[in-house]
Structure formats: structure tokens, C-alpha cells
A and B are shown apart, each in its own frame.
Chain A
């Protein structure tokens, strides 16, 4: 994917993220995630049923990288088993850290590959996905 398409995808997911809005349903696990160095803040809900991620919802306010990475991660992870979801997150974190990772597992999430080279953006790119990680391990 060329950089222009990557930027378009990021901005589309920033302006119109998937699954914004919480259910406040007790069947969902819930996690608050804050970025210590900026205002980024998400509340994330996750419903795990029979070891399958049935739904993820979120609310909050954050920058383009934080919001779009969470939005794309939600699209990617819903419907996966817990282990598959954790594998996606593991590869995503490796990619952001600049380590070897499996691009096929990440698909669209690999558009954030260059973000790891911008120190100011690393926390933004991992805030939401770490929230999902925490919920999967609850």
C-alpha cells in the first residue's frame, strides 16, 4: 500500500472509527486507558464468549494515530479466538518496536509500521491495542 493510501485509511478511521460508543452492558469487560504524556484517553469494552472475541466497543478522545489504530484493530480482532487476537497484538507490538514480525497476521494494521520511528507517536499507536490486550488477559 502506498503512503497516500495509508494516510487516507488512517484519516478515514480517525474521522469515522468503527464501534464508537459504549454498551455499558455487564457482559462486557471494561478498561480505561490513558496516555501518560498526552490527553489520549479511551474507555474500551470487550465481550469474550466461548473463547471468541464477540465485540469490542470504545469511547474517548485521542489523536489520529491512536484513534485510527484502535479502530482498525477492533475491525481486525472481532471474531478471532483469544489466542489469535493475542498473536495479532504481539506482532503489532513487535512491528512498532522495529522487531521482526509476521506481516500477514497484521494485514491492514501494518500501515502503522513507520510510526515506531516517531518517538512522539509510539504511545499513541499502542494505547488502544494495549487496552484490548489487558481486557483479553482479565
Chain B
């Protein structure tokens, strides 16, 4: 797959292995946003003049592209937000805070991102719900058996990622949702690491809510989305109130909201961002999502095979299928490894990757994360492994 020519950044001879944090953007996405700013830079849904109508039309086209991409039933089920953190919080504060009561249980795992764990902690403090951590398998992946064993009559919500941002295991959302629904449990899935990497079909999986991130799948920063079943979104109290969401508000008791999705999109939207997101979806469709999945999984296998030949490496998730590898160099702090690699123009992430509970399981607070996407190559992996094959990484990281 030679898609590298579509990514202007790759001309800089920098090896980018931090795709779990954000992906690179193809030129067509950047051009599409420039086109908006240059040719029809107006607000959407606000004007009767032609460029505003054009902006509205492009904005709604992007919504339809996303609907089709995840196979939602209606564009009413697609809400644009400023971040998947906001998407998750919209559901937790706008829906579940009104539905749950003291003692109700929410299931998560210790492999989840802060954007999942922290709002639930907050609800535990505010209304007394109970957070239960489903035990992970020995390889830190999700366990269906442990899910089943964790369910009690008080369990009301399961809140996990489809693919976690550290371990990177893919959870079988269809199977998990089926088990949950049989037990009257609602399912909130964080799709930030999965959409754009694997095929997502919200109708087939029957998931209740699905949080989406544009910038991790070739789209711009500052645009995310939320999928929710129409009947659930209709029952969700908007956590943001402002312009564009109401029909009338004569007094505090007579606020009439617009229909979905506008009811949940208060304030001016990131028009250029949403339009750019639509272009990113077109680009991914052109490549084919299955091709992306197969190629990134092949790259990961190649990376693991190569890394295993080095004697100074600890690999924490070698047997997990996916596109993320987490490692440490023996006796080197992860940040020092990342700074060393930066000196060789290789970008990786070090730290706890916003998952501060995983240390309870993995016994290590921080790692180096190498996260791959379809524009990475085996040649780049060879270069990484060559640079890591060095017994003086710590010394050379110091820059002295």
C-alpha cells in the first residue's frame, strides 16, 4: 500500500509511531478544510445565503458519511462534539446521572482510559453508584467469563473501550453487548482507538452509545462524535445549553428543544473540522477498512518478531492482535527511551498513557508505546529496531 505520498508530513523523514495519540492527516483532509475557509467560510444552519447553505450542506454530508461508515440507522443518532472525552461525559452526565441511583453498579476494567474512569468516579461521589473492575486475563486482555461473573442484579452499565489505548486488545462488542442486554445492562463503548482501524457496525453490535474520535482516524483535531440509539438520545438531557438547539424558550419551564441531532449540538460547531472529518472517512473508504486492519496487524507481528530478537527489551503485549506494542528497555525509564528515539527522529509515546489504573495489574507505571497505522512501513520498523539494538540508550538519551 503506497499511501505515504498522500501525507505531506512524511516528507520530513520523521518516523511517526504515535498513532494512538493522534494520526497524521492526508493532504485531501487539509485541502478540504482549506476549501471551506477559502470558499464558503460561514456558519452552518444559520444563514439564508448561498455560502451558508453550502456550509450546512457539507456539514450534513459529513454526518451522513459517518452514519454510513458506522452503519447507524439514522443521522439523528450522530452527534458532533468537541472531543470523545466530551462524548463520553455527555452520556454519563446527560443520561446515566439521571437514570442511575445509589448502589447501582457500573462495570469497567483497569485497562480503560481516564476519560472513562474519571466521570464514573465523579458519579460515584455525586450519587453513590458503585464502580466494579472486571478482572483482566493474564495477558491484560478483556475476559468475557469475568464479565459474566461480575454481573449482579444491580449492574446497570458496562463502560469500556472497543480497543484499549495501552494493551490494544480488541473486545468483541457484539458478544459483550448481547450478554449485557440479556441482563438489562446498557453498553457505552469508547471507539477512539477502534474506528478507522477496524470495521465498526453499531447496528450489528447493537451497542447503546459509541464515542468517536476524528483525529485518531486521519481527521482534524477538535472534532469527535457520539453515536447513540435514537430513543436513548431523545431521553438524554443536554449537558451543554446554548444557541441552535431550541425552537423556543419563553421562560424556564417552556424550553422546546429541536429534534435530534440538533438538540445535542448547542453552540457553533467546528464546521471546517466536521467537513474535514467527512473527507477522512471518504479516504479510509477508498483504502478499505479491512485492508487497514490486516496491514496494521501484519506490521505489529513484524515489529514484535523483530523486537523479540533484542535482549534488552521487555514486551508487555506481544500476543495481543492489534496495532500497538508496549515495551520497556531494561533499566531505562520510558521517558528516557522516548527522548533517545527522538534523537533518531522516531516519535513514540512514553508514560502511563492516561491509564493510571493499569499499574495495579501490570505492576509497571509507565511504558513506551509504539502505535502503528497503515502508512507505517516495515522499513521504519527495521530502523526502530536497529536504533533500539544499543546497550547505551540511557547514556545517549541524556544529551550530554
Contact of B398 among A38, A40, A61, A65 (CB under 8 A): A65
- Residue of A whose beta carbon sits closest to that of B356: A39
The smallest C-beta distance from A26 to any residue of chain B, in angstroms, reads: 28
Tell whether B382 is near chain A: CB-to-CB under 8 Å.
Answer: no
A40 to B335, CA, bound (A): 9
Residue with the greatest number of chain A CB neighbours at <10 A, chosen from B350, B352, B366: B366
Are B400 and A38 neighbours in the complex by a CB distance under 8 Å? no
Contact of B333 among A7, A62, A118, A120 (CB under 8 A): A62
- Contact sample, A vs B, 18 pairs, CB 8 Å cutoff: A3-B400, A7-B395, A7-B398, A10-B398, A11-B394, A39-B335, A39-B365, A39-B366, A61-B365, A61-B366, A64-B333, A64-B336, A64-B397, A65-B336, A67-B333, A115-B400, A118-B339, A118-B399
> Which residues in window 129-167 of B have CB below 8 A to A?
none
Are B339 and A10 neighbours in the complex by a CB distance under 8 Å? no
Say what secondary structure dominates the interface of chain A. helix
- Evaluate whether A111 and B365 lie within 8 angstroms (CB atoms) in the complex, with A11-B394, A63-B335 already known: no
A38 to B366, CA, bound (A): 10
Are A39 and B334 neighbours in the complex by a CB distance under 8 Å? yes
Tell whether B204 is near chain A: CB-to-CB under 8 Å.
Answer: no
Tell whether B41 is near chain A: CB-to-CB under 8 Å.
Answer: no
Tell whether B298 is near chain A: CB-to-CB under 8 Å.
Answer: no
A15 to B333, CA, bound (A): 10
CB contacts (< 8 Å) of B351 on chain A: these are 38-39
Tell whether B342 is near chain A: CB-to-CB under 8 Å.
Answer: yes
> Which 8 residue pairs across A and B have the least CB separation, nearest first?
A39-B351, A63-B335, A118-B399, A63-B333, A39-B366, A63-B336, A7-B395, A114-B400
Tell me the count of chain B residues lying within 8 A, CB to CB, of chain A.
18
Are B399 and A38 neighbours in the complex by a CB distance under 8 Å? no
> Which residues in window 31-64 of A have CB below 8 A to B?
38-40, 61-64
Contact of A38 among B342, B350, B397 (CB under 8 A): B350
> Which residues in window 337-355 of B have CB below 8 A to A?
339, 342, 350-352
The smallest C-beta distance from B360 to any residue of chain A, in angstroms, reads: 15
Contact of A114 among B331, B334, B399 (CB under 8 A): B399
A3 to B395, CA, bound (A): 10
The smallest C-beta distance from A103 to any residue of chain B, in angstroms, reads: 16
> Which residues in window 363-400 of B have CB below 8 A to A?
365-366, 394-395, 397-400
A114 to B22, CA, bound (A): 31
A114 to B333, CA, bound (A): 20
> Which residues in window 101-138 of A have CB below 8 A to B?
111, 114-115, 117-118, 120-121, 124
Are A120 and B398 neighbours in the complex by a CB distance under 8 Å? no
Residues in A lying within 8 Å of B, measured CB to CB: 3, 6-7, 10-11, 14-15, 38-40, 61-65, 67, 111, 114-115, 117-118, 120-121, 124
- Evaluate whether A38 and B394 lie within 8 angstroms (CB atoms) in the complex, with A61-B365, A114-B399 already known: no
- Residue of A whose beta carbon sits closest to that of B339: A120
Are A121 and B365 neighbours in the complex by a CB distance under 8 Å? no
A67 to B394, CA, bound (A): 13
CB contacts (< 8 Å) of A11 on chain B: these are 394-395
CB contacts (< 8 Å) of B365 on chain A: these are 39, 61
- Residue of A whose beta carbon sits closest to that of B332: A64
CB contacts (< 8 Å) of A120 on chain B: these are 339, 342
A120 to B350, CA, bound (A): 13
- Evaluate whether A7 and B400 lie within 8 angstroms (CB atoms) in the complex, with A38-B335, A61-B365, A120-B339 already known: yes
Are B394 and A64 neighbours in the complex by a CB distance under 8 Å? yes
CB contacts (< 8 Å) of B399 on chain A: these are 114-115, 117-118, 121
Residue with the greatest number of chain B CB neighbours at <10 A, chosen from A15, A40, A63: A63
Residue with the greatest number of chain B CB neighbours at <10 A, chosen from A10, A64, A111: A64
- Residue of A whose beta carbon sits closest to that of B397: A64
The smallest C-beta distance from A96 to any residue of chain B, in angstroms, reads: 13
The smallest C-beta distance from A122 to any residue of chain B, in angstroms, reads: 11
The smallest C-beta distance from A34 to any residue of chain B, in angstroms, reads: 12
A67 to B365, CA, bound (A): 16
Are A111 and B400 neighbours in the complex by a CB distance under 8 Å? yes
CB contacts (< 8 Å) of B400 on chain A: these are 3, 6-7, 10, 111, 114-115
Question: Assuming A62-B333, A63-B336, A114-B400, what are 12 further A-B pairs, CB within 8 angstroms?
Answer: A7-B395, A14-B333, A38-B335, A39-B334, A39-B352, A61-B333, A61-B366, A62-B335, A64-B398, A117-B399, A118-B399, A120-B339
Residue with the greatest number of chain A CB neighbours at <10 A, chosen from B331, B342, B397: B397
The smallest C-beta distance from A39 to any residue of chain B, in angstroms, reads: 4
A14 to B332, CA, bound (A): 10
> Which residues in window 308-347 of B have CB below 8 A to A?
331, 333-336, 339, 342
- Residue of A whose beta carbon sits closest to that of B335: A63
The smallest C-beta distance from B93 to any residue of chain A, in angstroms, reads: 26
- Residue of B whose beta carbon sits closest to that of A38: B335
The smallest C-beta distance from A19 to any residue of chain B, in angstroms, reads: 19
